[in-house]
Amino acid sequence: MDENRSSAPWHGTTILAVRDSDKVVIAGDGQVSMGQTVMKPNARKVRELGDGQVIGGFAGATADAFTLFERLESKLERHNGQLMRAAVELAKDWRTDKYLRNLEAMMVVADKEITLILTGNGDVLEPADGVAAIGSGGNYALAAALALKDYEKDAEKIARRAMAIAAEVCVYTNDQLTVETIDSDS
């Protein structure tokens, strides 16, 4: 990342995805911070995409994230809802397009089958254990969720508890959550 650019995408939010055998859940906190000031406590950083077949959450600049969500929805339409294919195509554009490569955001997206982390570096990462997190509180939420998976089997319960733990230790994360869920076909 260019040293003259802001580190905003990785500062000020927590997004967590947890998958179990029945569903996938993406949870995001609601805090919007500018420096040391909380500007808004209840932002909605998690939403449905692709007619509800995909859910996603973002960390970073809001306008940039909405641009990426719109592009991802367009790719989903073009590729018949195939999340992996749409995500790879978005990552290619994001990395090579002069306008898109300046966007400061990261995304976690999921459908019934896969969970992915998308970055402006062209990364399309699929976590091996069904848990993914981004944002300044992401590592706290990720560690908590991974520990909780041994004791709790419900993805939503894991996500809510892990996000609560992240909110307790990360000053850029609060406990006002938006949670979206997709049930599996099993």
Which residues share a beta bridge with 180?
26
Give the phi and the psi of residue 48 in degrees, each rounded to 5.
Answer: -85, 145
- Per DSSP, 8 falls in state G
92-128 exposure pattern, b = at least 16 Cβ within 10 A, e = fewer:
ebbeeeeebeebbbbbbbbbeebbbbbbbeeebeebe
CA distances from 73 to 21, 47, 110, 118, 125 (A): 26, 12, 13, 14, 18
**Active site members:** 13
